[in-house]
Amino acid sequence: MKKLFALLFVILLVSCSPIPPTEVAGHVNLNDLQPLPTPEGYEAVPLRVAVAAVISPKGTVESYTPFLSYLEEKLNRPVELIQKRTYLEVNDLIEHGEVDIAFVCTSAYIQGHDTFGMELLVAPQVDGKTTYNSYLIVPTSSSAQSMEDLRGKVFAFTDPISLSGRVYPTYLVQELGFTPEEFFGRTFYTYSHDEAIRAVASGVADGAAVDSLVYEYAIARDPSLAEKVKVIHRSPDFGIPPVVVSPFTRPQVKADLQTLLLAMADDPDSREALASIGVERFVMIDDNAYDSVRALVGVIPTSVVQP
Amino acid sequence: MIQKVSHRAWAIIGAVSVRTKILGIVLGFIILLGVGVMVQARYALSSTMTAQLEEQSISVSRDLAARATDPILLNDLLGLHDLLGETLANNPNVRYAFIVDPRGQVIAQTFEGGFPLDLLAMNSVKADEHHHTALIETEEGLIWDTAVPILDGKIGTARIGLSDASMRSALSTLTAQLLLTIILVSATGVLVAVFLTWILTRPIMALVVATKSVAKGDFTPRVPRWADDEIGDLATAFNAMTEELAHTDDLRREREGLRRQLMEKVITTQEDERRRIARELHDSTSQNLTSLIVGLRLMETNCAQCASISTATNLRDVASRTLDEVHDLSMRLRPRVLDDLGLAAALERLAHEWQARYKIPIDVVIQLKERLPGEIETALYRIVQEAFTNIARHSQAKSASLLIEKRGDTIRAIVEDDGVGFDADANQGERHLGLLGMRERAELLGGTLLVESTSKQGTSVFIEIPLNPQPAAFDLQSATIP
């Protein structure tokens, strides 16, 4: 009888122990905490490239990786991509010399140039032009014909200081005699143009104003978007978002970069790098190409522009 | 081997009471079932939860990788840290979470005050893989570590560790609950088994008690038929058997009584007849023979020259021998001394004559202070007479002894010889019949007769007869003969 109970006890014990794992990668003591090693610095000082959030951070990485690799190869030094959520944050970096070169939005350039001397480097040329527009887009199913029809609806802005995504539609609303707060039922910021297109395509927003370059690029990449959104209004031409340098960027670096970018279109190796950011070539541009925009920005009260 | 084991098992199982057997069956089944269910339930729960943990590990890390993309790209380390914290807070099974950049640097993590550096090398994932899960052994138990590439591995890897603590706790909770259930069910089982045993053994115990009574000759007990089952049938059969036995016993006792009565009558009649013949021989035949002898002697004296004197002398001799023989016959049939002087004198005389005839010395000790009841004296006399006859005929003894004494209310007699002995249990024709007759006489008076004899060791016959015999259990007056 005792033996029988002993046997039962053993069975019980075996059944109580956990099922042995099939394969174990190794043993780690989770409470043996050690300081993390400090990151190794770059061998060479990297070229810091900021890209304003015209498109989402993820989209930016995908688009700019070939371009940055090209720079890395040509300049023979590491290139670091720096992204920020808003245009203003990028402007701050440029102002304090924390980036060497930046792709900024038109209105961000005007603000940077007029406040701390942001310098134009080159401008991209797309479809033979160095201008772009703001498109007012609505879902395909929408009956809206103009900004007037979007009254009381949900509207998506991109960035608080974006010309095409915030300043121009605000201008349109003001023309109708309202502030955006009065005119729209609700507004929100997507902080990038591709996200604004997505917000309209998915019906989260009833309308949005977006960068024509981003819109065309997005339609080219995903033709199904054309079935979901339509353009109901097109702004006059604005100066294209330029490539700028910080006032702290060394003149030699600025000159090297300018030479490299201007010659890029003639280099067969650059085709993929240019195509992925949707640029034909880089050209020189003068600050007065942005005067029309300055006039428009001047109409919009700063209190409205500031987020 | 198997046979040995089964024998041993049966020796153990067979030796315990029915109560223990039923208890054992009930408890055995409960425990066996409980353990089986527990093993199965633990196995099923464990496999399900393992699969769930692994799936959860994958989904949580995929989610983390997707949500970490923007904070990483925007270099929003605080946001990343908050995201990991949220992941940890919202998934209790997550033991840790961290993000590694493509250079292998940990850029955000949930360990506080350091990092277990060994953990880094435990798992990795290729850029084109969906995820990679590794099982890691830690001092806190097993961890499912899942690595997911962030933005195709361009900006790093998200790592999540899911602890199996919840699974282990669920398993121990289940085990504890099942054990408790087994204990409760066992306790109930014991109560049920005790009740069952009581129900089952109560009629059996009643049967045992009744059987013991029957074995002692008491046929009155009847067992109740508790239930309409096999044991109930047994009780009914037992009652029928007891009734039959009681009936048979009554018949046996009746016949025994009749037989005894008959035997008494036969013996009494025989004794009376012997006494009458002996008296006749003594009183009439002996007198006649004596007269004949006296006449013949006168004839010899009166005619001295008679030619027929020798004839008369011869006739007187014949008559004298015949007289002796008649005396002897009368003596053997029914010694007068037994009636006149009692058992002691009769036996002493019997011994004396027997010794004289067979030339075997006999030692006689008779310690009786007074006369015994007539039937006891007759019975003892006949028994000793038969014993003496047996010694003379069969024993080839060199000597013999007779002891008769009164002990309390019992008369005890012992007849011994140093002869060849015999097998007292075997049936040996005439001698056996003789012994049977001796015993019959003793038993008719409520006494006993015991023969002890072994080959070449002599024979002892022990007789005990009570002076105040118990009245016979059988009452002849009320008995009816079918």
pLDDT of residue B482: 38
Average pLDDT over residues A235-241: 91
SS3 content of chain B, % helix, strand, coil (to 5): 60, 15, 25
- Cβ-based neighbour number of residue B345 at 10 Å: 14
Give dist(CA B128, CA A217) in Å, integer.
Answer: 26
Closest CB to B175 among A16, A61, A83: A16
User: B137 and A26: CB-CB below 8 Å?
Assistant: yes
Residue B42 forms contact with A (CB below 8 Å): yes
Tens of pLDDT, residues B115-159: 898 888 888 888 888 899 888 888 888 888 999 999 888 888 999
The C-alpha of B117 sits at a distance from chain A's nearest C-alpha, in angstroms, of 7
Residue B11 forms contact with A (CB below 8 Å): no
Give dist(CA A269, CA B102) in Å, integer.
Answer: 26
pLDDT of residue A61: 85
Q: Which fold has domain B342-468?
A: Heat Shock Protein 90 (3.30.565)
Give dist(CA B15, CA B7) in Å, integer.
Answer: 12
The C-alpha of A86 sits at a distance from chain B's nearest C-alpha, in angstroms, of 10
Contact status, residue B96 vs residue B161, Cβ threshold 8 Å: yes
Predicted interface score ipTM higher than 0.90? no
Tens of pLDDT, residues B98-107: 999 888 889 8
Give dist(CA A80, CA B451) in Å, integer.
Answer: 130
More confident residue, A243 or A31: A243
Residue A305 has pLDDT above 60, yes or no: no
Contact status, residue A240 vs residue A106, Cβ threshold 8 Å: yes
* Alpha carbon separation from B192 to A1, B19, B25, B196, B198 (Å, rounded): 21, 11, 12, 6, 10
Per DSSP, the three-state class of A51 is: strand
Q: Give me the helices (H) in B114-164, please.
A: none
Give dist(CA A102, CA A105) in Å, integer.
Answer: 10
- Any idea what the Cα angle at residue A85 is, between residues A84 and A88, rounded to 5°? 75
More confident residue, A100 or B18: A100
Residue A85 forms contact with B (CB below 8 Å): yes
Residue A40 has pLDDT above 80, yes or no: no
pLDDT of residue A12: 59
**To which residue do tokens 């140039």 refer?**
A113
Which residues 408-427 of B are in CB contact (within 8 Å) with A? none
C-alpha B313: how far from chain center: 82
Residue A212 has pLDDT above 70, yes or no: yes
Entry pTM: 0.57
Give dist(CA A290, CA A241) in Å, integer.
Answer: 10
Which residues 187-216 of B are in CB contact (within 8 Å) with A? none
Average pLDDT over residues B465-480: 57
User: B135 and A22: CB-CB below 8 Å?
Assistant: yes
pLDDT above 70: percentage of residues in chain B: 95
Q: What's chain A's length in residues?
A: 307
Give the full edge-to-edge strand order of the sheet including A186-189.
Answer: A186-189, A154-157, A207-211, A134-139, A229-234
pLDDT of residue A303: 39
CATH code for B16-183? 3.30.450.20
Closest CA in chain A for residue B32: A8
Closest CA in chain A for residue B150: A58
Residue A2 has pLDDT above 80, yes or no: no
pLDDT of residue B405: 92
Chain B residues touching A25 at Cβ < 8 A:
122-123, 134-136, 145
Tens of pLDDT, residues B294-313: 888 888 888 766 777 778 88
* Alpha carbon separation from B233 to B158, B209, B242 (Å, rounded): 80, 17, 14
Closest CA in chain B for residue A38: B105
Bridge partner residues of B156 (DSSP) = B150
Average pLDDT over residues B162-174: 86
Contact status, residue A196 vs residue A214, Cβ threshold 8 Å: no
Tens of pLDDT, residues A161-208: 888 899 899 999 998 999 888 999 999 998 888 889 999 999 899 999
Domains and CATH numbers, chain A: 47-126+240-290 (3.40.190.10), 131-238 (3.40.190.10)
In the DSSP assignment, the letter for residue B363 is: E
First to last CA, chain B: 62
More confident residue, A197 or A37: A197
DSSP run (H or E) holding A238: strand A238-239
Give counts: helices (H), strands (E), chain B.
Answer: 11, 10
Selected residue of B8, B33, B43, B73 to mutate for chain A interface (largest A Cβ count, 10 A)? B73
Tens of pLDDT, residues B422-450: 776 666 566 677 888 888 888 888 899 99
Tens of pLDDT, residues B225-275: 877 888 888 889 989 999 998 999 899 999 988 988 898 888 888 888 888
Give the full edge-to-edge strand order of the sheet including A119-125.
Answer: A79-83, A47-51, A101-103, A243-245, A119-125, A281-283
Token pair belonging to B289: 């023979």
User: A29 and B139: CB-CB below 8 Å?
Assistant: yes
Tens of pLDDT, residues B377-403: 888 998 999 899 888 888 888 899 999
Confidence of residue A3 (pLDDT cuts 50, 70, 90): low
